[in-house]
Amino acid sequence: MTPLESVLRRHGLVGARVTPLGAGLDHTAVLVGDDLVLRFGSSVAFESRLLGFLAPRAPLPVPVPLFHDVREGCLAYRLLPGTPLLTAPVDRQQAVPALSRFLAWLHAQPAPDLPRDDTPLHEWLTQARNEYDTVAGVIPARHRRTVENFLRAEPPPDTPQRVLAHNDLGAEHILVDPAGTVTGIIDWSDAALADPAVDQARLLRDLGPAFDEPAREGRVLFLARCMMLEDLAYGVEAYIHNSLDALPRLFSPERR
């Protein structure tokens, strides 16, 4: 019996319609019926505790845990409305004020019992250098010198600051309605005590100018560039388009 079959049987869901929702490197998710999400992965107990803390407090909706099945590594919650911002046909700038407030709130929250992400910036750079060999042919020729100069340079200094971070706050994990209003923040499996720049950088990469302040040059711009190359190397069409859209902003000649 598969983990999915086991969960369906134990929770009285046998015979319900099951629709795949997606999969990441360390999780899969399915929709049961019209609105029940079952998410399978190694971190669901941690994710359930965190969401239980966030859901009644957060200024934007997050999944509300219904149950987590430790034996099968399954977290259950009701489907949040909306479409991932990554593919939604909306003006992304509509989401900026709400996301700015949400990020300020999140980074100010206490974070007991969270794993700590101390990945140094030089590791991000090493990974980006390795990925460049894979993606160089996709990058328009007019941008390659700027990208290569970035990859040859040293990273900015690390910071000891750590905050409660979503740690994967890309447009694929931000849900919006047809007007571009944010309706939810999903996939908290990577949440950690981390450099606040990791959340800011993904929003800079995916939402652009509104998060593009001079004060954020440095770690945020550095990480946004590395994350753009990372998504380009991931190879999924929506991520490739998103990365190529961000490329001229992140690697414009006037950037240092």
Q: Are residues 225 and 124 in the same domain?
A: yes
Q: Are residues 15 and 53 in the same domain?
A: yes
Q: Are residues 146 and 239 in the same domain?
A: yes
For residue 225, name the pLDDT band (cuts at 50, 70, 90).
very high
Indicate the range of 69-73, 118-122, 197-201 predicted with least confidence. Answer: 69-73
More confident site: 235 or 34: 34
For the chain, strand residue ranges (E) read 18-23, 27-32, 36-41, 65-69, 74-78, 83-84, 163-165, 174-176, 182-185, 192-194
Residue 120's pLDDT is 98
Give me the mean pLDDT over the 223-242 stretch. 95
Q: Are residues 65 and 136 in the same domain?
A: no
Residue 215's pLDDT is 47
Indicate the range of 16-25, 86-95, 165-174, 230-239 predicted with least confidence. Answer: 16-25
- In total, how many domains does the chain have? 2
Residue 248's pLDDT is 94
Residue 23's pLDDT is 77
Q: Are residues 27 and 140 in the same domain?
A: no
Is pLDDT of 255 > 60? Answer: no
Mean of all residue pLDDT scores within the chain: 92
Give me the mean pLDDT over the 50-54 stretch. 95
Residues of the chain above pLDDT 90, percent: 83
Q: Give the domain range for residue 241.
A: 92-250
Q: Are residues 96 and 180 in the same domain?
A: yes
Q: Are residues 44 and 100 in the same domain?
A: no
Give me the mean pLDDT over the 1-20 stretch. 92
Most confidently predicted of 3-7, 12-16, 177-181: 177-181
Residue 212's pLDDT is 61
User: Which phi and psi angles does 187 have, rounded to 5°?
Assistant: 60, 80
pTM here is: 0.93
Is pLDDT of 49 > 70? Answer: yes
Residue 70's pLDDT is 86
Give me the mean pLDDT over the 138-162 stretch. 95
Of the three residues 53, 79, 105, the one that is the final residue of a domain is: 79
DSSP state for residue 180 in the 8-state scheme: -
CA dihedral 92, 94, 96, 98 (to 10 degrees): -130
User: What's the CATH number where 63 sits?
Assistant: 3.30.200.20
Q: Are residues 51 and 102 in the same domain?
A: no
Residue 24's pLDDT is 72
Residue 253 to residue 256: CA distance in whole angstroms: 8
User: What's the CATH number where 211 sits?
Assistant: 3.90.1200.10
Q: Are residues 182 and 161 in the same domain?
A: yes
Residue 84 lies in a domain: no
Of the three residues 54, 79, 104, the one that is the final residue of a domain is: 79
Enumerate residues 6+ apart whose C-beta is below 8 A from 22.
Answer: 28, 29
Q: Are residues 46 and 134 in the same domain?
A: no
Give me the mean pLDDT over the 136-144 stretch. 94
